[in-house]
Every structure is written in C-alpha cells, then in structure tokens.
Amino acid sequence: MSELYKRYVDVIVRMQKDRKLVPLKLVWDNGTEYEIDKILSIDKRASEVGGGGIRYAVMICGRRRNLFYERDRWFIESVQP
Amino acid sequence: MNDRIIFHIDINHCYAQIEEMLHPELRNVPMAVGGHEEKRQGIILAKNDLAKAAGVLTGESLREAREKDPDLLIIPPHYEDYMYYTGKVKEIYREYSDQVESFGLDEAWIDYTASRNLFGDPEEVCSRIMERVNEEIGLKVSAGISWNKVFAKLGSDQKKQGSPFSITRENYKQTVWPLPVESLLYVGTATSIKLRSRAIRTIGELAGYSEYHLRNAMGMAGTMIHAFANGEDTSPVSDVLRVTKPKSIGNSITMIHDVYSLEELKPVCYVLCEAVASRMREQGLEGSTVYVSMRSTSLDWTGWERKMEQKTDVSEEIFNAAMSLASQYNFSLPLRAFGVSVSQMHPSKGARQLSLFWDSRRYERARRTDLAMDEIRSRYGFYAVRRACTLLDRPMTEINVKEDHTVHPVGYFQGRKMIV
C-alpha cells in the first residue's frame, strides 16, 4: 500500500430530498473534474490520514478511493501529496 | 436483588489523542496540549505517550515540561474540536442507553442495566462500543464495568487494552482492595494525608476501617469514601434529558500580567462580572452570594464571600460586591489570577422587592444596560460593545471569558445528596 495523503477537495454533491448526500464529481486544485463512477459503500469511519467522518468508498476512473465528509467539508485519501 | 450494570468509559489522554487523530504525524513526536504561554495560562493539559515517557506530567507548567524534554512540541488547545469529537463519541454511547452521564469531556458513565435485554452480554457490548469509537471516531478508550459508578470508574482507570475491566462482587476484593487508596474517587491529597496518618494505604484497608472513626475524623466525607470502598455507592447515572441546575456560576482567569493594585484589577473584574451575569441571565437564575478568589504570584489562593441584600443577575451589582471583597487583599504580593462566582441560585423572577434604602432606578438602568449589551453582542460579536474602563488595558481585557473559559470539570454528585 502506497503512502496516503489528506487532501481537502471541492466536491459537487447532490443533496437528495431524503437528506442523503451523493457526491457526483470531485474537483482537483488545478480545476480538473473527476467523475465519481460508483459509490461502493457508506459508513462512519476515522481515516488513517487523520480526521474522519462519513466515509464514501467510491470508484473514480476505475480506481477505488475513500472520500470523507468531515464535519462540513470533504477530503480524499490521496496517493498524490 | 439484581445488581445494576454500569459502564465507565474514558477517552485516554483525551485532548492529546484528538490532536493525534486529526494530525497523525503528531504520534511520532513527544507532544502535549498546553495553555497559551503568552497568555500565561501555561500548564500541560494532556500529553501523548512519547511525552509521558519523557516524564512530562499533566498539570505541570510548560517551563517544567520543556526542562524535561527540550524537544517537546506544545500545541494550544482547540476546545471546539474536543467538544465536537467527544460529543460524537457520546452519541455512540447513547445508542445503547438513555442514561449517559458525562463526567467532564472525556469520561462518561452508562447505565446498561435496562438495555441488557435489548443488546445482550455487557462485556461483549462494552467491547463493541470501544471498537466502534476506535473505528468510527479514531479514538482509543478504556472501560470498566461494575455494579456501581465508583468501581466502574476504577475499572476504566486500569487502562486495559481493547476490552473492559470487570469488577464483580466476586472479584472486587482481589482487584480493587489492593489498590492505593488515592485511586478511589474523592480521595485527593488532603484526604490521602488524613487516611495515611491512620495507616490506611489501600482501598481494602479503608473498607475494613471503622466507619464510626472515619466519620468522627472527617464527617460525611468519611462515611462516603468508606461506602465507596465497600462498593456501596448507590448514586444513579443521570439520564440524557435531565438537566441539573448549577449551584454556582463563576469565571476565573490567569491575567496576562501581574496586577499590583485594585485600580488595575477593576477592568478585569468588570469583564468577569459581565460574563458571570450574562451566563446567569441565560439560565434564568439569580444569586445572592458573591465570592471572589484571588491567587497571588506565590500561587496561593485566597477568597472572600459576601451575601447580597437582594438576589441579583446584574453585572454592576456583582461588580460592586466583588470589588469591595477584593479590596481586602493587601497586594503585598502581586495578583496573578482572579475569579468571581455567584452562588445560592434561584430562578429569576424578573422583579424585585422595593426598598427604602437603595435606589431601584439604578438597578433598573443597570439591568437594561446589561440586556442591551447581551443583545448587541449576540448580534455583532463580543467586542462590538464594551465598558470604557476596559480600554485602559486592552490586552488584559481582550478575553471573551464567557465563550473561551467555560469548559469546566463537573462535580460527581451534580448537586444531588448522597444516600448512604
């Protein structure tokens, strides 16, 4: 397992009428948007890179990543620093 | 008789662990959470394992700690984070019982007695709670299970890793009684000296000692700790919804520089009295006894109290009483810390008995001023309005006492009487 970094990111989210948050796209600092292809699971978790909250295990461009909704913002366990 | 089942769960070195959880790199260096040094509130509040290994103690000054380990990283406390994450931890506890009683931010008792039929075996469930806190919040906790609150706390103090420490009627004589008497709740330094002078060194020796002699020597406290040592504590675990009225409301601060005269103390006193009065109004309480505590540079506390003619929640009146009490201090040593508290609380009636001997218009005016200030502050922030005298010494009075200084440890009985 390569080393992971905590990266706060912009996320485009659909706020559903049943109060569920569904992250749709992730926006990297350079403006590139990454589609979230699939949400594999949602649970409450602490992250190994620090902090935690609601963990969305997601597929982005064919790779599995953990996206966290921490209090009032989003971060991803990133392989890039 | 069916015994109660009580968990006590403790977030290990809470503040330091929350900092580590948020910033994992802090696990690799000796680190402590300490008060702001520049504001001179400089003591160690919590430390991580590496700092502990270096001999750093909770409660010692930052300077003492740095002498032990020059590389010690000291970070200022982030109370807002601590309240948020400890709140999340307690949400997990509340999934298992409606009787969860907080003891400070980091500790709580959970009465599991009635929940047993819902969730099953206490040890398994307690282990599950510990696991969940670790997985979901990222914090390690230790836990104890017993039939009373005092032994449950002793159990969690044993810091068993990964599973709860059970103290049962069968094993308490082997597990609890050999422990030093100081590990019992409510045996502090003063009590410890009294007990040790009677050759009581362990909890077992305390339990076996004559209750009659203890009561003669120490009053009700003697009876109480004797009952504690024998596992006869019957105090209940409060429910979630039960809100206890405070017995007193107070604030104190360590000032950013020493104070040499009453005149210099005045603005600080105003700031404190405003905070206290504002908190009283928020809770709809009036008090009739004002108490001031003063700590000189030799770190000794002295205090005076005075009963007011009328109950009050007005900062001006509390201020006048506090200043006249403070004038008894002779300033032979400069003052380092100062506190004001009001006790003998009653629900506020919003009206008061008229008297021939004082000016009720003055009271009305002062109260209206306070209410106006509360409203301005709630809308535009704490510094939007302030007494002119506090401008004389800005750094000294630029403290939002009410918001920043009200994380308090709570008393064990929360105003309840102990039944023995």
Q: What is the CA radius of gyration of chain A?
A: 12
Per-residue confidence (pLDDT) for residue B257, from 0 to 100: 86
pLDDT band at B256 (very low <50, low <70, confident <90, very high): confident
Contact between residue B39 and residue B257 where contact means Cβ atoms under 8 Å apart: no
CB atoms within 10 A of CB B407: 11
- Give the pLDDT confidence of B13-35 residue by residue, as tens digits: 999 999 999 999 999 999 999 87
Q: Tell me what pLDDT residue A46 has.
A: 96
- Interface residue of B135, B139, B140, B141 to substitute, partner A, most A CBs within 10 Å: B135
* Residue numbers in B near A71 (CB within 8 A): 84
pLDDT of B197 over the 80 cut: yes
pLDDT reported for residue B245 = 66
Per-residue pLDDT tens over the stretch B279-288:
888 888 889 9
Q: Tell me the pLDDT tens digit for each residue of B133-166.
A: 999 999 999 999 999 999 999 999 998 888 999 9
- The whole-chain average pLDDT of chain A stands at 94
Least-confidence region, from A8-17, B170-179, B214-223: B214-223
Give, in order, the Cα–Cα distances in Å from B59 to each of A43, B64, B231, B401.
38, 10, 30, 21
Q: What is the DSSP letter of B228?
A: H
Q: Kindly state the average pLDDT of the residues A20-43.
A: 95
- pTM over 0.95, yes/no: no
Instruction: Indicate yes or no: CB of A51 within 8 angstroms of CB of B139.
Output: no
Q: Which residues 58-87 in chain B show a CB within 8 A of chain A? A: 84
Considering only alpha carbons, which residue of chain A is nearest residue B18? A51
List CB contacts (< 8 A) between B18 and chain A: none
Q: Give A-chain residues touching B11 at CB under 8 angstroms.
A: none
Q: What is the mean pLDDT of residues B238-263?
A: 79
Residues of chain A contacting B, Cβ within 8 Å: 43-52, 71
CA-based nearest distance B420→chain A, Å: 43
- For B23, the closest chain A residue by CA position comes to A50
Q: Look at residue A80 in the predicted model and tell me its pLDDT.
A: 84
* Chain A nearest CA to B22, separation (Å): 4
Residue B390 above 90 pLDDT?
no
Inter-chain CB proximity A44 and B136 less than 8 Å: yes
pLDDT at position B409: 42
Highest mean pLDDT among B263-272, B359-368, B377-386: B263-272
Q: Sort out which chain A residues have CB atoms less than 8 A from B23's CB and list them.
A: 50
What is the mean pLDDT of the segment spanning B212-221?
89
Number of inter-chain CB pairs under 8 A, A vs B: 26
Contact A46 B137 (CB under 8 A): yes
Residues of A in contact with B135 (CB under 8 A): 45-46
Average pLDDT over residues A21-26: 96
pLDDT category at B420 given cuts 50, 70, 90 is very low
How many CA atoms are closer than 13 Å to the CA of B388, on its beta-carbon side? Answer: 0
Mean pLDDT, range A23-47, rounded to an integer = 95
**Res. A61 pLDDT band, cuts 50 70 90:** very high
Query: Nearest-CA neighbor of B279 among B242, B249, B319, B317?
Result: B249
Partner-chain residue, chosen from B23, B84, B135, that has the shortest CB–CB distance to A46: B135
B418: pLDDT confidence band, cut at 50, 70 and 90? very low
What is this model's ipTM?
Answer: 0.92
Optimal mutation site among A44, A70, A75, A77, interface B, most CBs of chain B within 10 A: A44
| Chain A residues close to B22, C-beta within 8 Å | 50-51
Whether residues A46 and B139 touch (CB distance < 8 A) is answered with yes
How much is the average pLDDT of B248-276?
Answer: 89
- The pLDDT score that the predictor gives to residue B150 is 95
- CB contact set of B82 (below 8 Å; sequence gap of 6+): B14, B15, B18, B105, B407
Question: Residue B358: what pLDDT?
Answer: 73
Question: Is the model's pLDDT at B411 over the cut of 90?
Answer: no
Contact A50 B21 (CB under 8 A): yes
Would the pLDDT of A3 be above 60? yes
Distances (CA, A) of B292 to A27, B269, B338, B387: 56, 10, 7, 21
Cα gap B211→B215, rounded to integer Å = 6
**For residue B398, pLDDT beyond 90:** no
Catalytic (active-site) positions of B: 107
Which of B23, B134, B137 is nearest residue A50 as measured by Cβ atoms? B23
B254 band by pLDDT with thresholds 50, 70 and 90: confident
Does the pLDDT value for residue B244 go beyond 80?
no
Mean pLDDT of B79-93: 94
Q: Look at residue B400 and tell me whether its pLDDT is greater than 90.
A: no
- For the record, the structure tokens of A62 come out as 């064919």
- Are B137 and A52 inside 8 Å of each other by CB? yes
- Crossing angle of helices B262-282 and B315-326, in 10° steps, is 140
